[in-house]
Amino acid sequence: MLTVVRNIISSRMAHAHVHHVSHAVSENPGWSLLRLSAWARIGLAAGIAALLWVATFAVIL
> Residue 2 pLDDT more than 90?
no
Question: What's the angle, vertex CA 51, arms to CA 50 and CA 55, rounded to 5?
Answer: 115
**Rg from Cα positions in the chain:** 25
Give CA–CA dist 61/53, Å, rounded.
12
pLDDT in tens, 3-61: 666 656 555 555 555 566 666 666 777 888 888 899 999 999 999 999 999 999 999 98
pLDDT of the residue at 19: 62
pLDDT of the residue at 6: 61
For the chain, percent helix, then strand, then coil, each to nearest 5?
50, 0, 50
